[in-house]
Amino acid sequence: MQAGLPGIRSHFDAATGTAFYDLLIPANHVTHALAVQLSGPTRDAEQGTLVARLGIGLLSTRFEPTLLHEWHHFLQMLAYPFQYLQACRELKLLLGLVEMANQDPGLSFDLHSLEIHPAGREMLRAPARSARIIHAGDLYTVEEEETAPGERDDRDISETLLAEEATSVFVYRTTGGAEDGRAYRDWLDQHHSYEATFSFLERLWGPDEAFLALTPLVQASFFTTEPCAGFLALVNHCCKHRLRPSELGVTEFYRQLFGLLTRLPPVYLDADAPRESWAQGRIFMIRAADFAGLVEREVLHPARPVALAYIERLKSDQARWLELLTPLPTETLSELRGGFQPAYTSIQLRPEGHHGYASVALPNKLLLEPVPEGHPYRQTPLHGKIPTYAQAGLEIQRLKDVGLGMVTRAASRIDHRCPHAECPMYQTGASRRWFPVPPSWPECPFPAWYAHHTRHVIDPLTSRVVPLGGTGRRPGGARGGPLDSWPDGWRRYLGWSTRQWLEAGSPVVMPEFDLMTGRLREEPS
């Protein structure tokens, strides 16, 4: 964060379809006093509207490239079938871990270290796994061993890198970048952005061809069950048959790539099944109709209403499958930004020097419809009505975060939402993504919420998850339950029902808030 200028951290969570923006407000910035005022404990629609206005105002002016970056990751989840499949698999696995703890009153384990089936751990790790691209005869393939994090360079490939680099091209184009590979290389160097995949293609075909080919190759590869294998198979095909987008045109180049994929066997998309392994030599094509069936079946994912609407839009005009391959016309960009924002846009303001943060979760307006039959919260009415996706999704997000924390420290790269560093639970990392943030840590409902959903508690002294009422292994011969010495404020939540937790987690619903302009739609322009 430069002196006097706001800073930002952001990430996209595909398992819940949420874009997170964490805005750091310097003490001498013009908005600092307002950010402090909004960082109080009150959580109502008026406060939420002001937080949203301030946050969206900063995002759409100073941080527009970041806003576009995370939004494009959401578009990828809608347009790249494997991304949506991976998101559903991850969500169901992590929610299943929470339910497993709930059903096993004797379970005890160290936080972040719960033993799970190797296929489940493989599924969580696979997107970020990186392997070295090698030239074997006339073909490009990857080494059998994973490249260690500290040894990775622009000779490596991973699913995460493929998606990130297609996003970099999108941001470059949407912020006015010329259709020129050398200009794009300069932009990458200036912004210190992802470049491994582009560098690989650049070595093969030069910068201009690499720039045109990158996005079609990435999008096509995510129509397979192993995107890295699919990507290299497509590159090999291009090398063998001398296919170049500069000669064919980008759309024809993509159609020929897609034609190659149709030779692969199709696969039934099952979010409950482990992913097929490239190491086993298995790669399948994901057909558009099967992708639509997956979205229809998986009622749990918060982004489902948006994904269904996007698929209907594609069905109405097949050419729209190609729209993310080239610069978007202004009209198309406006249409997509107006109707296909992330399931949630989560904004947090951190005023420098102030002990307290302001936050709001803005749901996509399509999430205001009731959850369908088969959804776990369908039979938990809120104020006599079926819960909406917007209401249920935030509880699902908290459950997913807790499930992830049971098996890995992967979330440790994300800053705590909570400023209460003196809280013993803060030190364990278990409540890193908890919301809403309470005024003080002794009043935090997190321990009671955790007990309600898992029938377990976390011992803050040992970071061990033990059955509710258990003692676990405590250092120095300490006795008593893990939370016996905890202030009593949290205990008032122990008797809460699922309905009460849903109500407490509901977002500030502002369906007419325009994420493009930072205005309420009923306001005059």
Pairwise CA distance, residues 357 & 47, whole Å:
12
| 508, pLDDT greater than 60 | no
The segment with the largest mean pLDDT, out of 50-59, 277-286, 369-378, 511-520, is 369-378
**DSSP string over 176-187:** T--S-HHHHHHH
Distances (CA, A) of 48 to 40, 52, 91: 11, 6, 27
| 350, pLDDT greater than 50 | yes
Mean pLDDT over 34-39 rounds to: 91
Say what the pLDDT of residue 523 is.
42
| 487, pLDDT greater than 80 | no
Dihedral of alpha carbons 93, 98, 104, 109, sign: positive
| 509, pLDDT greater than 90 | no
The segment with the largest mean pLDDT, out of 53-67, 300-314, 455-469, 506-520, is 300-314
| Residue 224 CB neighbour total at 10 angstroms | 24
Say what the pLDDT of residue 514 is.
52
| 410, pLDDT greater than 90 | no
pLDDT digits (tens, 9 = 90+) for 364-398: 999 999 999 999 999 999 988 999 999 999 999 99
pLDDT grade, residue 185 (50/70/90)? Answer: very high
For residues 166 and 184, the answer to whether their CB atoms sit within 8 Å is no
Mean pLDDT over 474-485 rounds to: 60
Identify the residue whose tokens are 């303001």: 349
Say what the pLDDT of residue 435 is.
81
Measuring CA to CA, which residue among 295, 290, 299 is closest to residue 269? 290
Mean pLDDT over 349-353 rounds to: 93
Mean pLDDT over 283-311 rounds to: 97
| 41, pLDDT greater than 70 | no
pLDDT grade, residue 525 (50/70/90)? Answer: very low
Distances (CA, A) of 416 to 22, 362, 373, 419: 10, 20, 35, 7
pLDDT grade, residue 280 (50/70/90)? Answer: low
Say what the pLDDT of residue 330 is.
94
The segment with the largest mean pLDDT, out of 71-75, 105-109, 452-456, is 71-75
Say what the pLDDT of residue 512 is.
45
Between 64 and 511, the more confident residue is 64
Reply yes or no: is the peptide bond before residue 227 cis, omega within 30 of 0. no
Of 100-109, 320-329, 371-380, 515-524, least confident by mean pLDDT is 515-524
Say what the pLDDT of residue 352 is.
93
Mean pLDDT over 202-220 rounds to: 97
Q: What is the pTM of this model?
A: 0.93
pLDDT grade, residue 1 (50/70/90)? Answer: low
Of 26-30, 303-307, 468-472, 481-485, least confident by mean pLDDT is 468-472
Of 65-74, 186-195, 277-286, 314-323, least confident by mean pLDDT is 277-286
Encoding tokens for residue 352? Answer: 């420098």
